[in-house]
A and B are shown apart, each in its own frame.
Chain A
Amino acid sequence: MFQIDYYAYSNRMVSIHPAEKFLFSFITMLICLAINSYAVSLAVILLMTGAVVLRAGIPWGLYLKLMALPAAFLLVGVAAIALSVSFSGQAAGTFWGFSLAGVSVGVSAGGLALAGKIFLKSLAAACCLYFLALTTPMVDIISLLRKIKAPSLFMELMGLVYRFIFVMAETAEKIYTSQSSRLGYVNLNRGYHSLGQLVSNLFVKSYHRSKMLFIALTSRCYNGEITVLERNYSLSPGNIAVILLLDTGLVLFGIWEKWGGPAA
C-alpha cells in the first residue's frame, strides 16, 4: 500500500489532469464489463499494463507483484465455477473428473470457458483500478471528488485520515524500533507484551496528537471548516483525444469481435 502511494507521487503521469486519468480508467473499465469477451478483456489488460509500465514508468517487478494479489484471489474464486460437483455419477459434458465416495467432481468445457471469462474480466477491471491508484495521488483523487460535489465533511475526513495513516504508521514504527532496541521482542512472551503496549500507546499518542492538531489549526484561524487551495491542472485536448480514440477503438473491436468477426 505504501509503495502504491509512493509511486502515485513519483510516476511519469503525475502532472496529467486527474480527471483525465479518472475518465480513462473508468470508461475503459465500463467497456470491459459491458462487452464481456475474452478478447476485449485481454486488450484492456494489455492496454492498462502498457499505460502503467511504459507510459507511467512503474517498474515491472512491482506491477507484477501487485497483479499477483487479485490474480491469486480470482483463481481461487473461479475454481469453484470451473468445477462441477454432482452426487449421481459424472455429469454430462465433463472432459476430466474423478469420483470419490459417490461424489463426482468434474470440469466441463462450458464451466471452464465461463471461469476463464470471469477471471480475465475481473483482472482487467483490477488493472483499470491499479492504473488510477498508481498514477494519481490520493490528494488529487480527493480534490476531484470535491470538485464533483461530494459532501465536504466527508472529504475533510478522508484527507485527515489519509494524512494520519502515515503519521500513525511512523509513530508505530518508532515505538517498535525503540522497543526492539531494548529487547522488547526477545521472545514470544515479551513480544506479545510489547505489542500490547505498542497498540495502547498508539491510541494514547494519537489522541494527544489530535488535540494538538486542533490547537495548531485553531491558531491559524480555523473555524470549523478546512478550506484549502487545490493545485491547478490544465486539461490537455491531446490526452482527451487519445483517451477517446483508445476507448472508441476498444468498443469497435469489441463489437466486431463479438458480432461481426470470425465465428467464436
Chain B
Amino acid sequence: MTEIIMEARDVVHQYPDGTRALNNITLSLEKGKKIAFLGPNGAGKSTLFLHFNGILKPARGKIIFRGREIRYDHSSLTELRKNVGIVFQDPEIQLFSASVYQEISFGPLNMGLSREEVRRRVDRAMEITGVTGLKNKATHYLSYGQKKRVSIADILAMNPQVIIFDEPTSGLDPKLTGQIMELFDGFSREGKTVILSTHDVNAAYSWADHVIVIKDGSVAGEGEPEDIFQDDGLLAAADLDKPWLVDVYRQLRSRGLVAEGCGVPRTREKLFGLIRNI
C-alpha cells in the first residue's frame, strides 16, 4: 500500500497581472518516491512548487499534505515548512548571508532547535554537499556551482521529509549534474520524497520513479518514465525531446536486433548489455 504525501486538487492560481499559471491542476505524490516534473518554460512548475510550501495560496482548490488540507495560519505554515523544503532555482536569491556557515544555520535555528543540534546539522549538511572547505569563505566569492551546493545545504540542514528542487542542474557542468543527482538518490534512500523540475530529459528518464508532465498549468500526462518517454503524442504536445536511451533502443528494436520482451533500458549499462547480446 503506497502512502500519498502531497496532493493538489483542482488548484487554480492567477497572478495579479491576470496570468493563469495553474489551471485546475490535480495530482498526487507518493511518499518516498523520486518524482520529476517536466514541461516547457512557463508551464507552471515553479508556481506549483510554491504552493507545496505554502508560499502561494490557491485561488481555488486545495493542497493536501499528509492527508490534511493545508491551513494558512502562522503555526500551520511553520509546521508545513519544517517538513517541506524548497531549493530555489537561482541560488543568488536564496543566499542572504555573506557567510556560508551563517547562511546554512538560518533554517534549522528558525525551527527552534538547540544550538548544538543546529551545529551538528550544519556540519552534516556541509559534508554531504561537499562544501565543508568553504565554510569560512564569503558567499560572494563562490562559483555558481558552489553557491548551488550551499543553497542545497541550506535546506538539507532543516532535514525535511519532502525536498523540492526547482531546476537543480540548470547551469551546472555534467560532472556536477551527475554528483547532484547521486546526492538526490541518497536522500531518497533515507526515505525522503524528492521532487525536482528539470528540462534535462535524459536525467529525468534515468533518475525518476515517476514523471509528471505539466503544460499550461495542468497535468498533461504522468506515469513511469518508460511509459511517458515512449508516448510520442505526449512528448510532442509538451515539446519534450526523447531521451537518447529510448532513441537508440527504438532503432535497435526496429531493426529487430533486440528481443521483444526485454523492455527499454533505463541506464547506459543496461543498453550496452543489450548490444553485447546482439
Contact = CB atoms under 8 A, between A and B. Distances in A.
Contacts of B88: 212, 216, 219
Contacts of B53: 219
A137 B97 CA distance: 13
B93 A227 contact: no
Contacts of B90: 212
A203 interface: no
A65 interface: no
Nearest to A137: B138
B109 to A, nearest CB: 5
B97 A163 contact: yes
Contact of A9 (B106, B107, B119, B136): B136
A239 interface: no
B115 A229 contact: yes
A109 interface: no
A221 B138 contact: no
Interface string B43-68: 00000001001010000000000000
A230 interface: yes
Interface in A184-237: 209, 212-213, 215-223, 226-231
A57 interface: no
B154 A220 contact: yes
Main secondary structure of the interface of B (DSSP, over half): helix
- Size category, B interface: 35 or more
Given A163-B139, A229-B109, A229-B115, A138 B86 contact: no
Nearest to B141: A9
B242 to A, nearest CB: 34
Contact of B92 (A138, A167, A217, A227): A167
A221 B78 contact: yes
B107 A139 contact: no
Interface of B: 50, 53, 55, 74, 78, 81-82, 85-86, 88, 90, 92-99, 101-103, 105-107, 109-111, 115, 118-119, 122, 135-141, 154-155, 158
Given A9-B141, A229-B119, 4 more contacts: A163-B139, A215-B55, A221-B111, A228-B102
Interface of A: 5-6, 9, 14-15, 137-139, 159-160, 162-163, 166-167, 170, 209, 212-213, 215-223, 226-231
